[in-house]
Amino acid sequence: MRFLDETSIRVRSGAGGDGVSRFRRERNVPLGGPSGGDGGRGGSVWLVASRDVDTLLAADRDGEYAARDGGPGGPSRRSGADAPDVEVRVPVGTVVHEIGPGGALRPVADLSRDGARALAAAGGLGGRGNRRFASSTRQSPTERTLGGLGQERRLRLELRLIADVGLLGFPNAGKSTLLSRLSAARPKIADYPFTTLAPQLGIVDDAAGGRQFTLADIPGIIEGAARGAGMGLEFLRHVERCRVLLHLVDLAPLEAPSPLGRVRAINRELARFSPALAGRPQVVAGNKMDLTGAARARQRLEKSLGAPVAGLSAATGEGLPELRRLLFAALARAGGREMGAAEPAFPPEAPPEPAGPRTA
């Protein structure tokens, strides 16, 4: 299935049904009075976050979602039928913006939890029948109101992965192999650049099995990514929700740029994309410790960074238990939210008010 993390859709709610003006006409009931029923409410359009959906491909394919109008009222105080709501399922982590005049974006909701709902377009209220206007001084009103209009909105949907740890590194650093060794994820693994064409998620458990966190392999981030080089600009947004960054560096001595150059290059791209990312807690790990010269390259990197560098081999499994321990410790220090929970990027707006009845 093709991965899609941005799309635009159009949503349209249903109008409310019209109220009617009727009078009760029955034999032996000379003063039956007004009996016009109310119109039904128009259907609303909801966005619903679901862990069963991984991409915005389905929303992009349909493109437009419309709810039905409410039914008109009837005689004998019969109310019109309410129209059913329409639900659009999107992945957990979807951020919703309304597209305004000139393409300006206004934040609407952050669907960062499974089952979270956002009212995209509210159905119009049903009109009132003439029985609603009867009083002790008005025995035979003829007034009625029309149903409220539906709403039409253009929305921009943007998926930002929900993950505790974001796995970064140059192509061929061994990120996919590391993800497969730390979790049950099975990403595509090969010896050519850009093996991973979409973010991959895996669940990492501690040795005792009592805790876990979500690890995301963020592909395509290279030097110049914040300006569109490689595929980094497409996937940099997925790093924003991660509480801790795991920077995997290839320690192969003949690779260029140097390990230090790779760390600094990616950190520059993170800072260019979002200054807040520059201060995000980071664990640096040197991969391919099984190669000759890797140990010395790791020591030089530690000295240059002035910080510990975890040594490991994703291929052989060397150093993985220690890396797992370091990541759990970094998440505990980061705090902010419970592991595996979702942190909203901004508070959701109040649902749009449905249009009230119109005068007939």
| Domain at 298, CATH number | 3.40.50.300
Q: Quick one: pLDDT at residue 340? A: 37
Residue at 360 is within a domain:
no
Query: Where do runs of H (alpha helix) occur along 55-206?
Result: 57-62, 175-182
Instruction: Report the C-alpha gap between 69 and 15 in whole angstroms.
Output: 5
- Residue 265 backbone phi and psi in degrees, to 5: -65, -45
* Average pLDDT of span 325-332: 91
Torsions phi, psi for 188 (to 5 deg): -70, 135
**Structure confidence at residue 256 as a pLDDT band (50, 70, 90):** low
Confidence check: pLDDT of 343 > 50: no
Query: Do 142 and 229 lie in a common domain?
Result: no
Is 353 domain-assigned? Answer: no
Does residue 1 fall inside a structural domain? no
Q: Same structural domain for residues 194 and 315?
A: yes
CA dihedral 107, 116, 245, 278 (to 10 degrees): 20
| Residue 179: inside a domain | yes
The alpha carbon dihedral of 99, 100, 104, 110 has a sign of negative
Q: Quick one: how far is CA 53 from the chain centroid?
A: 10
In a domain, 328, yes or no: yes
Q: State the pLDDT confidence band at 344, using cuts at 50, 70 and 90.
A: very low
Whole-angstrom Cα distance, residue 150 to residue 356? Answer: 10
Least confident of 3-7, 14-18, 213-217, 231-235: 231-235
The angle that helices 259-273 and 294-305 make with each other, rounded to 10 degrees, is: 50
Q: Are residues 125 and 169 in the same domain?
A: no
pLDDT by residue (tens digit) across 43-77? 999 999 998 888 888 888 888 999 999 999 999 89
Last residue of a domain, one of 159, 177, 211: 159
340 with 319: CB under 8 angstroms? Answer: no
Decide: residue 291, CB within 10 A, 0-12 exposed, 13-18 middle, 19+ buried.
middle
Q: Give the pLDDT confidence score for residue 133 in this predicted structure.
A: 92
Is 345 inside a domain boundary? Answer: no
pLDDT of 241: 81
Count helices and strands (H / E) in the chain.
Answer: 7, 16
Question: Using omega within 30 degrees of 0 as the cis cutoff, is the peptide bond preceding 357 cis?
Answer: no
Query: Are both 151 and 179 inside the same structural domain?
Result: no
Q: 142 in a domain, yes or no?
A: yes
Q: Which is more confidently placed, 343 or 72?
A: 72
Among the three residues 128, 159, 190, which one is the final residue of a domain in this structure? 159
Q: Do 171 and 151 sit in the same domain of this protein?
A: no
Q: What is the mean pLDDT of residues 7-31?
A: 87
**CATH number assigned to the domain comprising residue 133:** 2.70.210.12
Tell whether 169 and 153 lie within a shared domain. Answer: no
Do 310 and 220 lie in one domain? The reply is: yes
Range of the domain at 225: 165-334
Please, which pLDDT band fits residue 225 given cuts at 50, 70 and 90?
A: very low
Q: Are 157 and 164 in contact (CB under 8 A)?
A: no
Asked if 133 and 206 sit in the same domain, the reply is: no
Q: List residues bridging with 155 in a β-sheet.
A: 9, 98
Q: What's the confidence (pLDDT) of residue 6?
A: 85
For residues 14 and 150, state if they share a domain.
yes
159, 181, 199: which is the final residue of a domain? 159
In the predicted structure, residue 276 carries a pLDDT above the cut 60 = yes
Better-predicted residue by pLDDT, 84 or 166: 84
Give the chain's domain count.
2
One domain, residues 44 and 153: yes
CB 126 within 8 A of CB 357: yes
| Residue 155 clears pLDDT 90, i.e. is over it | yes
